Amino acid sequence: MFDLTGKVALITGSSRGIGRAIAEMFAKAGARVVVSSRTAEACEEVAEAIRAQGGEALVVPCNVSHREEVEALVAKTYEVWGQIDVLVANAAINPVYGPMSALDDAAFHKIMTANVLSPLQLCNLVLPDMAKRGGGNVIILSSIAGIRGNPVIGAYGVSKAADAALARNLAVEWGPKGIRVNAIAPGLVKTDFARALWENPEVLAKVEGQNPLRRIGQPEDIAGTALFLATDASAYITGQTIVADGGETIC
């Protein structure tokens, strides 16, 4: 039920962190994986690691903030492998660390373009073909920052709340065509992206102190959740936001 043999999985932001962990885990489950981020060199390192383990990987660089690059990413995947069975919209940015009162319009638009508009663009490019082929799976990376307030990453949280809403609405629209769309809301995970949080001793101590598992997440923790959502193991789940935070939000 956790087999992806014969499937093609396109994963944005997969040169490091959660995206890389998802790409590597999907490849081990049998998927042909499209590794994509802004730089080809970083992607190729991941692809080589996957190939060294006997997997198949295609590198397609893409800055998801640029629609023409998003279109080229999808087009290249179809050109080489002819299909996309699983789409993981993982790429995201957070250029601002501080209160929303200090947020300028340009930064807000930048966050919303990369974190919300690009997943929608990807879905609009990929889902029609999935429907023609009888179904598929989409996973959008949200965050617990989209569930509760945060004094330093508020705009990012707004974008991640929108991602959860995007998953719900796309699930309603495309469910009759056999397509499932879900979101994952990670808690604090030890990645370069979240370094400003987990390198802060006060933040780290607070999370580890109140988290029932007494630790922050690792990229593989989120990859396992993604594998569940990408396979038949979750065949009756759609439109949901799966919280993977070690229980942080229940306390």
Pairing between β-strand 8-12 and β-strand 86-89 as defined by DSSP bridges: parallel
Residues annotated as part of the active site: 156
Cβ–Cβ under 8 Å, residues 166 and 140: yes
The single residue listed with the structure tokens 């929108």 is 162
Q: How far apart are CA 62 and CA 66, in angstroms?
A: 8
Cβ–Cβ under 8 Å, residues 29 and 36: no
Q: How far apart are CA 120 and CA 50, in angstroms?
A: 28
Cβ–Cβ under 8 Å, residues 184 and 144: no
Residue 247 has a CB neighbour count (10 Å cut-off) of 14
DSSP alpha helix (H) spans, the chain: 17-28, 40-52, 67-81, 105-112, 118-132, 154-174, 195-198, 201-210, 219-230
R_g of the chain computed on alpha carbons:
17
